[in-house]
Structures are given as C-alpha cells and as structure tokens.
Amino acid sequence: MLANLKKIPIVREITFISYLIMTISEFQFNLLSCSLITPRVKHFVGKIQSDAIWQFTPGQFITIIFEHNQKKIKRSYSIANQPNPQNIIEFAASYVENGPGTEFLFNLHPGDSFTITGPFGRLVLKEPLPQRLFLVGTSTGITPYRSMLNELTKLACQIEIIQGVSNIEDILFEDDFLAICNQNINFSVAVSRELSNKKHHFHGRLQAILSTKKLNPQNDIVYLCGNPQMIDETTLLLQEQNFPIQNIIREKYISR
C-alpha cells in the first residue's frame, strides 16, 4: 500500500535526524528533573544557560549533542512546554532498546548537563487559520501540541487533537489536553490494543477516528507527528481524499 504513496515535497517534511549543515549556536542544558510518565517514556525538565531569554515557537524541537562510542551523536526531541522567561525546557523521550539516545538520556540524573542546539522545526501554527485544525500524534509525537496549549485556546477555529497509543498506560499528558477542551477544542485517544470506558477513548487506530470526522480537503489542515509509518499511512489516506499537500504538515519522529 505504501508503494503508492505520492511523492511529498521535502520542504513539507522534517525528519528527526541530524541534517543541519549550517553553523548554529550551542547551549548548556542543566537537567532539573527527570521521571517516567509512562512505562516507556521519560519526561525531562531543564534550564538553558543563556544570558538572554531563549526564544522558540510552540511546536519546535531541540537537538541534543552527546558522545557515544567516541563519536558525537545528535538526537532531536520536541519541546513539550510553552515559552517562558526562565528558559525552562521540557521534552519527552521514548525508551528504545540499544538506542544511543536512550542509553544517554535514561542514565541522566538531576544536576547533570549536556549540550543542545535549536530551536528547529516548522510544525508550528500558521495563518491563515483553517475552519478545522487536526493535530495528530503518536507516542511522543503528541508533545509539540502540548507546547501549543496556550495558543490553541485563543484560536477561533475548530480544533481536533488526536493521540494514538497501543495501551492506555501509554497516553501522554492526557490531563493537560483535557483541561483545554471546550466547544471549539476536542481531545480524543485511539487505543489500538485495549478497550476503555472513557468517552474520549476509542478502540482502534487513529486513522479510524479521522475517518469519522468527515474531513474536508479544502477547509481542514492536518498536522502529523510521530511514527513514520503512521505518518505515511495517514498521508496516503488524506491524499486519497484529495487533500492538497499544503494542508498536510508532517514531522517524522525518527530518534533512538
């Protein structure tokens, strides 16, 4: 099925790997806290050492730099909190067996520090606003939308936030998203392997939820972040419904 996927212009897609060739500034990141928030995802909170306010746009990501087997490694993670004058940055990382990023991050302790660069990324809110905005993410691909919470409450359009997980215990930042729900903002979770009695939980894959939303290719914009397979499959689903590529904003999460 994926062999029929139409070619996606590279300007519309950012892959979470080291791809930067420009000269960029580096900053020290002092870790304040880190803890498991699901059985396989750790939440990191730290402070960027900078004399000025470290500015970013909600939806962007940072790149961390560390040594692994005597080589310099870079891994990127979405910023999970809103901009603030204290230069506090939050991000979440999934456990990947034998992954260099996992080995580095999951062995850190409060008080440790490491180097980061950024911010980067185009998965940000843009004008003009559509009639409906869909923010779709799997696993830690939901974190850039958490960074947008304050901005989302100010938008006049209809907003659908959809998180896809395998099990109920994998849901990230559920209370934060539920807290902003109102007549214009809806949050739902697709749980593929378990049943749940919560009204905003749906059994199945997130594409099934999308299929119930009566998507309009001319008036809706869909943001996709997370697992590459989910992004490719969902893009194909949208293109089969005649979605113009400018209405599909993608950011693949390939980091371990």
> Residue 243 has what pLDDT?
96
According to CATH, the topology of domain 15-120 is Elongation Factor Tu (Ef-tu); domain 3 (2.40.30)
pLDDT tens for 142-181 read 999 999 999 999 999 999 999 999 999 999 999 999 999 9
Paired sense of beta strands 220-226 and 132-138, if any: parallel
Distance CA 145, CA 123 (A): 9
pLDDT confidence of residue 255: 53
d(CA 197, CA 158): 25
- Residue range(s) in the chain whose domain bears CATH number 3.40.50.80: 123-252
CB-facing half-sphere around the CA of 248: CA atoms within 13 A: 26
180-207: pLDDT as tens digits: 999 999 999 999 999 999 999 999 999 9
Please give the average per-residue pLDDT across 73-87, as a whole number. 97
> Rounded to whole angstroms, how far apart are CA atoms 189 and 202?
6
Mean residue pLDDT across the chain: 90
Q: How confident is the model at residue 252 (pLDDT cuts 50, 70, 90)?
A: confident
| Stretch(es) of the chain classified as CATH 2.40.30.10 | 15-120
Which segments within 19-70 are labelled E, that is strand?
A: 26-38, 41-49, 61-68
Q: How far apart are alpha carbons 35 and 83 in whole angstroms?
A: 21
| High-pLDDT (> 70) share of the chain, % | 89
CA-wise closest residue to 37 among 176, 186, 187, 162: 176
pLDDT value, residue 3: 37
**Architecture of domain 123-252 in this structure:** 3-Layer(aba) Sandwich (3.40)
Within 148-205, where are the H helices? 149-152, 174-179
